[in-house]
Amino acid sequence: MKIERFETWWVERNQCLFDKKRQGSAAMPWDVVVLKLTTDTGLEGIATALAARSGNITESYLHETIAPVVLGRDIHDREKIWHELWTIDRHLTFFPVYLPGPVDVALWDLAAKEAKLPLYQYLGAYRTQLPVYASGNFHATIEEYVEEALKYKERGITAYKAHPGGPLAFDMKVHEAIRKAVGDEYVLMSDPVAEYQLHEAITVGRQLEELGYHWLEEPFRDFELNKYKQLCSALDLPIAATETTRGCHWGVAQSIALQAADIVRADVSWKDGVTGSMKIAHMAEGFGMNCELHTTTMNYMDIANLHVGCAIRNTEYFEYFVPEENYQLPMKGNLPITKDGMIEVPTQAGLGVELDWDLIKRQCKHYREQRI
């Protein structure tokens, strides 16, 4: 079964979902590129690719560098294709971290559909659902964090992760206010996406220990391994890292080897697809560590994350980026979250969810196609 058609739709959103501090001077329309691979038998594999800063970059990499590798290949040659793309990356391509993961997702979607199995069963099922934590965005006031945490607690979501936006004193007030509002038993995490000094991170970590938080995530840039190592040594609170670490499992391995993380992160967009995420999860399992799956900021690809999470043992939660409507485009329907805060993996073949093709065509800025 060969891939004979490679199509993309650049879908416009024109809505920046970050504040000015994180947007910076460059435009951030947060568009999405839809990818479809079609075989010589008519079977279709679908993925979406991040285009938050530039649809031109995503589209060009997909067509100029990735499509020539994929077209004409058997859909089961995923591992060979995956490594060939890494060879190309090293030799003067240097893919963005969110590529080429989507093409790997589309290949897995194709293979699971051919097998007439949901992806998690094709990978090897471990479970059928995961508990959800609501993962908020950056807010300007303490009250907004409290309101958001309470909103999702009332909806039945059993955990909440704040993204306090700094400075340090503000972040600590956010942590304290949320804990007071939701009660002592509610599961909380903090992900400041910060550039703390080491002593600041230790101060925050000790506060979170006293407040009973579940983990602290990304207090430094991912490449600051020595700071992470010292922080992990100084605290009992688990430290989650490697969200943006380049190099897939090779990069994450350095954090594990240096004891610079207690929990590692992966996702099918930023860690080279299902193949890369499974490699990271299995490697972490060998060291007795959890691999917590990071939101792709796209509901459709988060469904691929869910399939991975239901095919591995060493993950605890599904990251539910909220408000959901910000990240729904271009998936049809909502994420399958139950009233008791669980997300249930789809049972249809492949990823098991659909895209809104009317919306895609209506908001398509550019369409490209290659065939063999």
Taking only the tens place, the pLDDT of each residue in 231-280 is 999 999 999 999 999 999 999 999 999 999 999 999 999 999 999 999 99
The CA-based angle 173-178-179, given to 5 degrees, is: 100
Q: What is the mean pLDDT of the segment spanning 40-49?
A: 98
The per-residue pLDDT for range 308-333, each reduced to its tens digit, is 999 999 999 999 999 999 999 999 99
* Structure tokens belonging to residue 147: 């309101």
Whole-number percent of the chain with pLDDT over 70:
100
Half-sphere exposure of residue 15: CA atoms within 13 angstroms, side-chain side: 10
* Structure tokens belonging to residue 365: 């800025």
Q: What is the largest CA-CA distance in the chain?
A: 61
Contact 243, 270 (CB under 8 A): yes
The per-residue pLDDT for range 283-307, each reduced to its tens digit, is 999 999 999 999 999 999 999 999 9
- Output the pLDDT for position 3: 98
Task: Calculate the alpha carbon distances from 211 to 12, 88, 206, 220, 317 in Å.
Answer: 42, 47, 9, 21, 20
- d(CA 142, CA 119) in angstroms, rounded, equals 40
Helices 101-114/299-309 angle, 10° precision: 60
Task: Calculate the alpha carbon distances from 264 to 142, 197, 251, 258 in Å.
Answer: 28, 21, 11, 13
- Output the pLDDT for position 86: 98
Q: What is the mean pLDDT of the segment spanning 105-126?
A: 98
